[in-house]
Amino acid sequence: MPETPSSERSDNLFPVDRSSQEHWNNEALERKNDKPTLKELFIHSVLFILTFISVSIVSTLLVGKGLQIKTLAGFSFPFPTNEDLKAGALFASLLLSFLTIHEFGHYFAAVYHRVRVSLPYYIPLPVGIGTLGAVIKIRQPIQRTRSLFDIGAAGPLAGFIVSLAILIIGFLTLPGPSFLNEFGDHQMLIDHFNEFGYYPPLPSLMEGQMVFLFGETSLYSFIASFFPSAPPMYEIMHYPFLLAGWFGLFFTALNLMPVGQLDGGHILYSLVGYEKHRIIARIFYGGLTILAGIEAVPLFQNYLTTHGFGSIGYAWGIWTIMLSLLMKKAYKEHLYWMGAMIPLSLLMSGFFLYVWTPSFAQEGSVLWLFWSFFTAFVVKIEHPPVRYEETLSTGRTLLGWVSMLIFILCISLNPLTLIS
């Protein structure tokens, strides 16, 4: 994901009365100074290594075959075996391949357009899957629409190709159903598959078993339909190629959300211009808060019930206050948009929670709740205008709409459900 500075600084960086010779001298100096120093190379390399180690170890909770419990100083800790670490390292290699290709897609597009840019910063995190991803820093405002499009689109398109390749390799090299027994007793699933030719749906699993259910996406489901032995979504964690491919496609979709300075925001802005993008982005954010509400209300209700506040009204009241603050920030206190989107978001969240419940089982997930805050306070909704608006070529326009299609095919409205 490229981190783009605000265009408000563009007048200071590119004064229009600069002489031609001075302009080219300064540009050459900027390019020279933009080359990574040994110190920067060391920092980026260390972050990559730390991220690889973090993903390799943390991901063993997913792809491992059962961690050993060891006691240190009176406390019990799960420790991965050598087999677990091998599986974790494989998953880390696949995931970081996607992240690296994605970020260097941005990087080389920026270099091509002579936009100053950093190398990717990898972000290790010792929870979840071991990383928050990677980011490059754009060190100057992007001045032209075509440059904005190329830099924004190069990353997700390159990463999508890698993720798709990883996923297809995973399906082509699937082991037989008995492979699942290496991760505990899965004989019930295996017997069901051998008898009927497909795995049982989630409700038939043993009660009391904690399950990570990864959300299906249109593209993933389409590819899986060609492989009868494809594991169910509650078992793909045992297959490093499938899991890495799923994360690659989903992370690509997150980056292609058409808001603010996400990759999708850059692309859609380049396709439709400032005014139309602002309207689309505001509507899209309203939809994002609907998903956030589906997660937030049950979360608040469960917490309040354990503390003696059983009425559902308390949960809805808290979410209404939070939603109002989010909308105020996202829409910059624009009363027309706040007045329209707040009640619509609340009504739609209630509809999917109490009327159309089978479609959105968001138990144990706070992704969209987090993403609604992240978008409003970090990414922002509106895209800052570029200085030089240009019409995209036919090829760029086609790639832009293909990118939007990739977003639709790779997004999951309920990406992760934790059932116990």
Separation CA 195–CA 81 (nearest Å): 34
Q: How confident is the model at residue 258, as a pLDDT?
A: 97
Q: How confident is the model at residue 170, as a pLDDT?
A: 97
Q: How confident is the model at residue 364, as a pLDDT?
A: 63
32, exposed or middle or buried, with CB in 10 Å at 0-12, 13-18, 19+? exposed
Q: How confident is the model at residue 131, as a pLDDT?
A: 96
Q: Which two tokens stand for residue 140?
A: 């100057």
> Which among 192, 196, 198, 194 is positioned nearest to 227, based on CA atoms?
198
Q: How confident is the model at residue 289, as a pLDDT?
A: 97
Cβ atoms within 10 Å, residue 82: 7
Using CA atoms of 119, 123, 128, 130 in order, give the dihedral in degrees to the nearest 10: 80
For the entire predicted model, the pTM comes to 0.87
Q: How confident is the model at residue 207, as a pLDDT?
A: 55
Q: How confident is the model at residue 330, as a pLDDT?
A: 95
What φ, ψ does residue 312 adopt, rounded to 5°?
Answer: -65, -20
Q: How confident is the model at residue 11, as a pLDDT?
A: 30
Side chain identity at 107, as an amino acid letter? Y
Average pLDDT per 10 consecutive residues for the chain, totaling 420 residues = 47 34 44 75 97 96 75 67 92 97 97 95 93 93 95 97 97 93 86 88 61 89 94 93 97 96 96 96 97 93 85 93 96 94 96 76 77 95 92 96 98 83
Using CA atoms of 110, 113, 114, 117 in order, give the dihedral in degrees to the nearest 10: -10
